[in-house]
Amino acid sequence: MTNPNATLCPPEPAAPILHWTEDKQPRTARWRSERGAPPPKRVVLADDTLSADSAYRQACEGTGLLWRGDFQNARLLLQALTRRIDKPPKASKTAKMGRKKALVQAETGVPSGEAFHLYRQAKAQRARVLGMVLIEFAGDYGIALRRSPDAKQACTEAWGPVDETSGPSVASLRELMGVISAHEWRKKGVEIPALTSAGAAVAKAAPNNRIFPHYGVFSPVRGEYVDLVAKAPLPQHTAKNRPAKYVAFDIGTGTGVLAAVLALRDIDQVVATDQDERALACAKENIYKLRLPNPVKVMKADLFPEGLASVIVCNPPWLPARPGSPLEGAVYDEGSRMLLGFIKGLAAHLAPGGEGWLILSDFAEHLGLRTRAELLAAIAAAGLKVLGKMDVKPEHPKALDASNPLAEARGREVTSLWRLAAV
């Protein structure tokens, strides 16, 4: 008998299907694209006889090149396409005027949101062209090409358990390379010095100092914000408002790295939240491997869990723009939803005398996407005050790359830990 009070869930949308003709027969396969790109409408077979110039022309026209040659030659073709698309075009008079304008903005310190949007458009177009070299997978993620790698485990980690009944699937070679790269990162991990720090701010040390990011979960390669959480002074409660248990929240935990750092400090319990299933699985695995001295509870929640905490940490995406794919969700936060949600809800979840630690880069300010005044106004409107701010200059490769189109803004970027408290 059907429960009349049951809620009917809508069926999951069917996976996109790629169509092509091979040996005069129509063929189909499931289309895989992490960034949600639609399958190419036109697909042709390609092999080692295809020239890079012809491949580039067809890819620019939106034609998918389903590879039937040597796998390593497909990689070489992708490299050739990358060189062609990254080659600077001959500058028109309009382009020269645009560069002159950008130079003036750089010299005067005036940010250019327009330059950022043009940069993102160029990246999206680049991704579309390079995504036209396609690889077919069997139901068990096997690749039937000469000199192809065994990527079954990497694909399983990224796309889920094998379901041989679903038949073949197709993805771009570029996406496959990302899957394999993520698998290697997951095997070797990312060294986090703060997890073995013997400084005064960190009372203990984890048995190991590596975090193992999963596919689709932002890797903590920018260590400056992790060090800020390790070194920031914990709020000290008075005898009157001292809680029975010193609790910390890590909002949007990702790999769980900040929750792990907090668990090494003088804190009784850490609650780490996230909405993404991949992040939750990743954080739980990392917390288990680290064998931390203080308990960490990983749970699914939209921002805050129930209860109060003495320290609430949040490292939201730093750029208020629409993510182009699920993988970009850790970088781009459309409408500053997570940032503003954290600020607006913080006071209601702080224990008496507690602090919220907002980890935020000012990169968006240098790009003209958000102003410092807007950030401070949001903090004040939420009934919060700024107790202090710890700053650090990023040292990641992009900040040191003068050829990067956003080098001027990156050169001025500062990452800060804002110490916030209820008024």
The whole-number pLDDT of residue 114 equals: 74
User: What is the distance between the alpha carbons of residues 123 and 404, in angstroms, rounded to a whole number?
Assistant: 12
User: What is the distance between the alpha carbons of residues 65 and 47, in angstroms, rounded to a whole number?
Assistant: 9
The whole-number pLDDT of residue 90 equals: 65
User: What is the distance between the alpha carbons of residues 52 and 70, in angstroms, rounded to a whole number?
Assistant: 15
The whole-number pLDDT of residue 185 equals: 94
Average pLDDT score, the chain:
87
Report helix, strand and coil shares of the chain as percent, to nearest 5: 40, 20, 40
Residue whose C-alpha is closest to residue 254's, from 320, 341, 314 = 314
Rounded mean pLDDT of 125-148? 96
Position 392 pLDDT exceeds 60: yes
The whole-number pLDDT of residue 115 equals: 76
Q: What is the pLDDT of residues 6-62, one digit of tens each?
A: 434 444 457 899 999 999 999 999 999 998 899 999 999 999 999 999 999 999 999
Position 401 pLDDT exceeds 80: no
Rounded mean pLDDT of 187-195? 92
Q: DSSP code of 121?
A: H
| Every domain range in the chain assigned CATH 3.40.50.150 | 191-422
Alpha-helix residue ranges (DSSP H) falling in 162-276: 173-188, 224-231, 257-263
Task: Name the percent of the chain lying above pLDDT 90.
Answer: 66
Position 1 pLDDT exceeds 50: no
Position 311 pLDDT exceeds 80: yes
Q: Is the pTM of this model over 0.75?
A: yes
DSSP SS3 for 294: coil
The whole-number pLDDT of residue 325 equals: 77
CB atoms within 10 A of CB 98: 15
Q: Confidence band (pLDDT; 50, 70, 90) for 275?
A: very high
Position 100 pLDDT exceeds 50: no
User: What is the distance between the alpha carbons of residues 373 and 133, in angstroms, rounded to a whole number?
Assistant: 46
Position 253 pLDDT exceeds 60: yes
Q: What is the pLDDT of residues 326-368, one digit of tens each?
A: 778 888 998 999 999 999 999 999 999 999 999 999 999 999 8
The whole-number pLDDT of residue 207 equals: 66
Half-sphere exposure in the Cβ direction for 325 (13 Å, CA): 17
Q: Confidence band (pLDDT; 50, 70, 90) for 236?
A: confident
User: What is the distance between the alpha carbons of residues 295 and 275, in angstroms, rounded to a whole number?
Assistant: 20
Burial (CB < 10 A; 0-12, 13-18, 19+), residue 192, is buried
User: What is the distance between the alpha carbons of residues 109 and 228, in angstroms, rounded to a whole number?
Assistant: 27
Position 324 pLDDT exceeds 90: no
What Rg do the C-alpha atoms of the chain give, in angstroms?
24
The whole-number pLDDT of residue 205 equals: 62
The whole-number pLDDT of residue 331 equals: 86
Half-sphere exposure in the Cβ direction for 41 (13 Å, CA): 2
User: Poorest-confidence range of 6-10, 55-59, 253-257, 415-419?
Assistant: 6-10
The whole-number pLDDT of residue 61 equals: 96
Rounded mean pLDDT of 110-120? 71
CB atoms within 10 A of CB 269: 16
User: What is the distance between the alpha carbons of residues 364 and 358, in angstroms, rounded to a whole number?
Assistant: 15
Q: Confidence band (pLDDT; 50, 70, 90) for 222?
A: confident
Position 89 pLDDT exceeds 90: no
Tell me the helices (H) and strands (E) count for the chain, helix number first: 14, 15
User: What is the distance between the alpha carbons of residues 89 and 37, in angstroms, rounded to a whole number?
Assistant: 26
Question: CA end-to-end span of the chain, whole Å?
Answer: 55
Rounded mean pLDDT of 163-167? 77
Describe the crossing of helices 52-60 and 71-86 by its angle, rounded to 10 degrees.
Answer: 70
More confident residue, 192 or 98: 192
For domain 191-422, the CATH superfamily is Vaccinia Virus protein VP39 (3.40.50.150)
The whole-number pLDDT of residue 3 equals: 43
The whole-number pLDDT of residue 119 equals: 84
Element housing 385 (H / E): strand 384-392
Burial (CB < 10 A; 0-12, 13-18, 19+), residue 350, is buried
User: Poorest-confidence range of 20-34, 126-140, 232-246, 276-290?
Assistant: 232-246
Residue 354 φ then ψ, to 5°: -80, 170
Q: DSSP code of 178?
A: H
